[in-house]
Each structure stands twice: as structure tokens, then as C-alpha cells.
A and B are shown apart, each in its own frame.
Chain A
Amino acid sequence: MSNIITAEHITKRFSAHTALDDVSVEIPRGSVYGLLGPNGAGKTTLIRTINRITLPDEGRILFDGRPIEQQDIFRIGYLPEERGLYRKMKVGEQALFLAQLKGLKHHEALLRLREWFTRFGIEEWWNKKVEDLSKGMAQKIQFIVTVLHKPELLIFDEPFSGFDPINANLLKEEILRLRDEGATVIFSTHNMSSVEEVCDHITLINKSHNILSGKVDDIRREHGGNIFSAQYKGDAKALIERLQGVCKVLAHDKNPLGYSSIKLHIERNEDVRSVVAMVNEAVELRQFTEEVPSMNDIFIRACQQG
């Protein structure tokens, strides 16, 4: 899988502080990529560097493997954290204006806008003034304008902030749909449950440094410390004897009448399949799962260590 964006050793200094310090990120084409980090960590600066709003002091951004150019921004759709529209303009007129700036012809823009407005069920907003819309409504308009020119790369800065759960869900579905249509999505967020649901890759930025990068599944597994839990019915003593020397029992909740549960630590070089087979032989196995920490735990732990 090729990378659509490669950020190489990006450093960006402002007069008072360093916003990014030697940050490298690789964003695979077709992924949904989460940029995580506490407030003020440098996420927005990294995003602005990727879409050429600010130039880095050191390092470079590669787009499709070659240094990014001004024309490439037509292939990027960007939804900034601080949403903004011209307040006095009518919704339709404004959407058309922004779409044309993205390089769409008037006719084409009109067609696509009609389609999106119908999809979101907001046709009657077309002639309303932006100042008459609620915050959530304005965000929907802005989302449409961001994706309208069908960019290969979509960058959303805090897309879920300010949306109610229903609209946040709608937004999640749209993000996944866009990915299925072939777009790459980068978004920054504090909302960890959305990361688990939507992202396949993440980078965690803290205090201007990239402290954690990779596939979500891999990261959770790495931070899990190979802990598995099992639920079973049967002879607890026999099970423990069977596992002796194979893995460590961390906790054991015996229930002679119903289901007992056991927590195991399996060494990394041990074959998980054979452990499952052993348990299965000893008792009646009901459930066997790896206990992976939530992204929330990983986030907090990583940031506190750094």
C-alpha cells in the first residue's frame, strides 16, 4: 500500500515555542487516519503543514511520493477546526462560490450540490442566509463543501466537535462511505470511541513529538501485554494443572455452578492457538478473547509517560 502523504522530519517553530519537533508521519492511501493528541500538542499545525497553509521550517511533505505542490491542494479537501462561512451570504450561493474556488465548473458544482443537499435532506436551506443557520447546520454545509470536489485526500480537524450524537453518527457513516469510494481520510480528534470505530491507523502527538504511530489493531495489541481472558464451565483445578508451565494465571474467578472466568498472560513467543486447544481440552470453553486496552487508556497512559 503506497503512502498518499509522507511527512518527513517536520519541524515548525513559532516565536515563543516549537509546535512540531522532528515529526514524521506516513499516511497510507485508502486509510482512515486518526491524529490524536492533547490540546496544543501540534495536531492543527501538522494539518496546516500538510495542506500547505504554513510551510515547515525543516523537513518536507511528500504527496504521492513527490514533494507537494500548490496544484495538489485541489486534490485535498480540508475542514478546519474553527468552522467559518460568510455570514451574510445565502447558503447555496456560498456553497457554489467555494466549490468554484476548488476548481469545479459552475454547472458541475450545482449538480453535485443538489445531490448532497438531497442526501442530507436540507434542500430548503438553499436560500437561507448563513447567519440564520444553527451551528450544527452550518457544519453540515461546510462538510458538504469540503467533500464536494471529490478530493483524494480529506482532512478533518475535530470533525465531531459540536455535532449531536445523531449527526456525529451520520458524519461517521459518511467518512466510511468516502473511504469505501477510495478517498483517504485524516482527522484529528479527542473522541476516542470514534477512533476505535472509524480509524485504521493513528498517530499520537504529544508536546510537539510523534510518540506513537501505527495500525490501531497493532497498537492496542502491543499495549495489551498479551492478556487473554476465558470463560468456561468445568473443573478449575484440572485447568490450572494443564496450564502449568505454559502461561501465567493472573486472576481466577471460580464459580462451581455457572461459568468461571480466568485471566491469563501468554508469553509473546507462545502459540496462542495451542493454549486455546489446551483450555478446550481441559474444560468446556465458552469464550476466549484477548484483552486489549481501549484507545482511551492508551492515550492517557502514553501522554502521561511523555
Chain B
Amino acid sequence: MTAVLERPGRRFADRRSRTLAWVGLSVLVVLGVVVAGGLAADAAQTTSLTDRNLGPSASHWFGTDRLGRDMLARTLAGLRLSLVVGVAAAVVSAAIALALACSAAVFGGVVDRAVGWLVDLFLALPHLVLLILVAFALGGGTGAVVAAVALTHWPTLTRVLRGRAREVMSSDYVAISRQQGHGRGWIARRHLAGHLTGHFLVGTVLLFPHAILHEAALSFLGLGVDPGEPSIGILLAESMRHLTAGAWWLAVLPGLCLLVVVTLVDTIGSSSRALLDPRSHHL
């Protein structure tokens, strides 16, 4: 404390400002990837048979694939697809989680038990097997993957939100509100909403990485997006055939980019959680 007072000039000295700056930077990079991916959509599909299977060079930073398509453009387009799928999945899953957790907390009793039971049911299978089943049931293809990823990521968030909501509902001020004759809807609006917003937003962001990685995994297995579309999973699945020929750049670089983007999104989520947590002021 005294050290800070002595040196008021160092603005970025405390961890809170640094975390904020880091979150801002990550958001910018992720947005940049989305924009760049949109711009690279054409280049990702342009074949050039004279430049086939080239390694990384100044003109093709990530090299080219067997049809001479620029891997940098394909990677960017794939990342954009991943992020779009991630957004759709995170938003839908988060909405489901919020609805279930709130109804469990507000109505209690049978509804509460049913929600708990549903969560247990969804967690009973390995997540990837569940994804494969749902994607299969929806007939495969890009739409099916988005739906499968969106419909299966809510259980863990539901657990967290339900725990929080239960805490709020059992608190004294809610009991007093009840005594004063306020209805369930009023209590949910006035007391529950404020307490859940932070957890909900952070939980939504933290669903992203899971969703992105699962989309990539399904596409890699050949159960995901249509093979014509450049998704990171598809790129890596294609690269497998050329790996023994020594084309390492096809596999290493797109995967690395996916890893970086997932890490960035994860950073955004966990840093915002630390920032929203009132205990974090001493960080």
C-alpha cells in the first residue's frame, strides 16, 4: 500500500489494471481473427496448382496444401468458423443453463429435483459420445454440429448457477421479501437476477473454449462440418494424410493457432471472473 502511495506515477503497477489491459488485448486479438477470417474466406478456397505442398515462406506464411491453397487464409477462415460456432453454442447453452437454474431455484421442489436429474443424465455419458449421438441424430453436417455443441454444454454451468441461486434463495432478505408478500417473479427479478448476472456472463465466456474444441474434435473425426468448409478440425484431419510425407506445417500451425485462440478466450473468461469477484481488489 505504502509502496503504491510513494510512486503514483506507475499506473500499470497493480494487477487489476494489468488484468484489464490483458483482457482488452485478448478481446482485440479475437475480434481481429474474426475480421481477418471473413476477409480470407475467398483466399481460403482459391486453388493454385503451381504452388502445391509448399513449406512456410514469405509469400505463404503457413505454407500451402495439396491443392495449393494458402494455409494462413484457411487457418483464419477456420478460426472464424470455430469462433462463430463457439458464440452460437455458448449463447444457447448459457440460456438453457440460466432458464433451468432459475426455474429450479424459483419453483423448488419437483422442478428442482428434475433439473438436478437432467444434469446428472447429461453428465452420465462421456461428453464426446453424447456429442456424437446428438450430431448423428440430427443427420450430420454443419448445422447438426452447431446444434449438438450448443445443446450439450449447459450442465456444468447449470450446476454452478443453481448452487448460487440456491444460496440467494435461502438468504434472510429473500425470506423477508416472502414475508412481505412478494411473489416468486418479483423475488427472481429483484434479488436473483443481480446475483446471477456476473456468474452467468463469466460462465458463458468460459463455455467458449469447450465449445470450440468440441467442434474441432467432431470435425476432425469426420462427423462435423462439411468437408468442403475450412474448419480447423477438417484441416488437421486432411493434414494426417500428408504427415508421413513430412508436411508438418499443415498440422502444426493451424493447431497452434487454435490453441492460442482458445487460450485467449479462456484468459478473457477467467480474468473477468477475477475482476468481478469483490475479493480481487487485493490482487
The judgment on whether A and B are partners is: no
Residues of B in contact with A (beta carbons under 8 Å apart): none
